[in-house]
Copies of this chain bind each other. A is one copy, B any other.
Amino acid sequence: MSNLDSLSTVFEPELIQEMAASGSLQNFKEGELIMDYGKYIRTMPIVLKGTVKVYKLDDNGNEILLYYLSDNESCSMAYSCCLEARKSEVKAIAEDDVELLAIPHNKLDEWLCKFPSWKNYVMRSFNERFIELLKSIESIAFHKLDERLIAYLKEKQRLSGSSVIKASHSTIADELATSRVVISRLLKQLENEKKIILYRNEIKLMSGLG
């Protein structure tokens, strides 16, 4: 299964064989819902292509973006959830066209002892997610919205490889858990500082952004 080629840098050939045999390839189009709050998780996804946005919802219906998953990354929360047949605390949406490999839960356990590379991968994933969550906390707790907005734009740039961000102000507002007016205000300010140029549904990042 040629789509699994990119995994060969991470896992030994026998494991990739097993993955091809028991995992299932899934495709999602841009904007499609991959995982929703409260759903039971029965497989652990590994992102092969594209980018996945992971959100958290609170009791009052507010949503906030936690982190992105891209090539060869995986959501460890899915892992521990599906080992215990727990419901999802998060929502996942395809940022662009996404291909992922879904590993059935019974294999997760089995491979843990059988393949050291799998165990290492899982542990590294846990650690990466922890670090991402810590970064989220740091960002929300210690940085003001203008700094968070700049970080957000740069992250989008990094993931897409393009310095033109395609997003509306209200989408950005949702992902940063604030209101559209506030984002428009801050973006206009950044434009006045020549750090970005605003178009409809597009934001061009200039070198001055930092």
Residues of A within 8 A of B (CB): 56, 58, 60, 62, 64, 66, 76-77, 79-81, 83-84, 86, 89-90, 109, 112-113, 119-120, 123-124, 126-127, 129-131, 133-134, 136-138, 140-142, 177
Contact = CB atoms under 8 A, between A and B. Distances in A.
Given A80-B127, A84-B127, A177 B141 contact: yes
A124 B113 CA distance: 18
Given A134-B56, A177-B142, A123 B64 contact: no
Contact of A84 (B66, B124, B138): B124
A140 B136 CA distance: 10
B137 A66 contact: yes
Which among A80, A83, A84, A140 has the highest number of chain B CB atoms within 10 Å? A80
A198 B84 CA distance: 44
28 contacts: A56-B138, A58-B138, A58-B141, A58-B142, A60-B142, A64-B141, A76-B126, A77-B127, A79-B123, A79-B126, A80-B127, A81-B127, A83-B123, A84-B123, A84-B124, A84-B127, A109-B119, A112-B112, A126-B126, A129-B130, A130-B130, A130-B133, A133-B134, A136-B137, A137-B137, A137-B140, A140-B140, A141-B177
Nearest to A133: B133
A65 to B, nearest CB: 10
B130 A77 contact: yes
Contacts of A79: 123, 126
A66 B56 CA distance: 17
B86 A127 contact: yes
Contacts of A120: 83
